[in-house]
Structure 1
Amino acid sequence: MLILKPLLLLAALLGPSPAQAVPFSVTLSPNDPALACHATSTPVLTFGPPPPGTRSLAVLLWDQRPGKLSGRWLVFDLPVKTTRLDAQNASRLRAGGGKAATNDAGQPGYTAICARGRHDIYVDVYALDVPSLGVPAGTPLRKVHALIHQHKLQEAKLHLVRVIP
């Protein structure tokens, strides 16, 4: 079971420009097949438009359970004009013109969520002030996440709740 919560949270170092007609945002369907246990493809995400000054984008999907936070997928060095990531093989280290990290499960790319119980799924899209983080595809997720925070202009967030019986 998935419950979609409000999908915009615009907390950032820089606020949205008054000229922006649409706020920086991210969407993920609660029925996306990639959210099923043992899925072998990545989620479909749409996002945009980033704030002025953005030079690249990064996307991070987290799974939070009581006492545990796990990074399931991180794509970075995405071209600034990227507005969508389509489904692809979950173990690929390239996505949408960007690079994928090795996730917290030690796997390249995306790993589906299978453990029983409540899962809070967070998707963060980051507008960055550099065209590249300067690390290769397959770099550990936590290392890339630290680099993202050094270059973050703004972030858009999505929160889904999933209960696996």
Structure 2
Amino acid sequence: MLRYLACSLLFSLGLAQGLELHIPAFASGQIPAKYTCVGENLSPGFTFAHLPPGTKSLALLFWDPEFPKGLIPRWVLYDLPPTAEVGEGLARAAALPNGLKQGQNGLGKIGYDGPCPAKSAPYQIDLYALNVATLGLPPGAAWHQVKAAIQKHRLQEAIVKVSFRR
């Protein structure tokens, strides 16, 4: 009970902040063409802040929540060290420096697959703070494997919602 009261007090005073995900290229809420199939299809760079205590790694899932035929993963990143930086245009390789791994996108390929709607569509990017240094999955894991592993080790989540219009 005392712990609950202390946490409530910290949040009410604005002294405790939740996990934050910052994607400078998407700051307007719109995805520039450069990061889509009509542009260079580059993965965006991102930063994070206010990691919760006990964070040992991060995972990021970028997906299309309203695709008519079911969920379409656009980018699956996991085993990201909490001190790493992710720059724009990440290589499309399953295993990257610093232990970072990429999983399969909606096309069954490794790495980022930018939005490609016929007209316009919303997208969601979820960043998870995890209590393990690795999810124990091999490079190139499928979305459902990564998502299931995240649920077992999740400390906090930050969500960014954006859209793309042709």
Matched residue pairs, number? 149
- The residue number in structure 2 matching 1:3 is none
1:14-60: CA deviations, max 9, x gaps?
x8993966531112223552245353421111212310011111111
After TM superposition, give the deviation of residue 103 of structure 1 in Å: 1.4
**Corresponding residue for 1:105?**
107
Q: Which has the higher contact order (CA 8 A, sep 6+)?
A: 1
SS at match of 2:147: helix
Contact in 2 for aligned 1:34/1:41 (Cα 8 Å): yes
In structure 2, give the amino acid aligned to 1:100.
Q
Highest CA radius of gyration, 1 or 2?
2
Task: Give, in angstroms, the shift of residue 118 of structure 1.
Answer: 2.3
Query: Which amino acid in structure 2 is aligned with residue 24 of structure 1?
Result: L
Query: Does the alignment pair 1:126 with 2:124?
Result: no
Uncovered stretches (5+) of structure 2, i.e. residues with no partner: 1-6
Counterpart CA distance in 2 for 1:53 and 1:129 is 6
User: Counterpart of 1:45?
Assistant: 46
Distance 2:8 2:38 in 1: 36
The corresponding residue for 1:24 is 19
Question: Which position in structure 1 is the counterpart of 2:66?
Answer: 65
What's the Cα RMSD here? 2.5
> Partners in 1 of 2:63 and 2:136 — Cα distance?
23
For residue 66 of structure 1, report the CA deviation from its aligned partner. 4.6
Q: What CA distance in whole angstroms lies between the structure 1 residues aligned with 2:9 and 2:109?
A: 38
Greater helix content: 2
- Deviations along 1:84-127, one digit per CA (max 9) or x if unpaired, are 31013452224563100011220111112122122111111100
Distance 1:99 1:38 in 2: 24
- What SS does structure 2 have at the residue aligned with 1:150? helix
Q: SS state of the match for residue 71, structure 2?
A: strand
Partners of 1:16 and 1:34 in 2: how far apart? Answer: 39
Query: 1:129/1:49 Cα in 2 relative to 1: closer, same or farther (>3 Å)?
Result: same
Task: Specify which structure has the higher proportion of strand.
Answer: 1
TM-score normalised to structure 2 length: 0.77
Contact kept, 8 Å, 2:126 with 2:157, in 1: the verdict is yes
Deviations 1:129-153 (A, max 9, x none): 1111111111112211111111101
- Distance 1:117-1:134 versus aligned 2 partners, 3 A rule: same
1:76 aligns with 2:78: yes
**1:61–1:73: 8 Å Cα contact kept in structure 2?**
yes
Which segments of 5 or more consecutive residues in structure 1 lack a partner in the other structure?
Answer: 1-14
Contact 1:78-1:99 within 8 A present in 2 as well: yes
Instruction: Find the aligned partners of 1:99 and 1:121 in 2 and give their Cα distance.
Output: 22
Distance 1:95 1:48, change over 3 A: farther
Q: Report runs of 4+ in structure 1 exceeding 6 Å deviation.
A: none
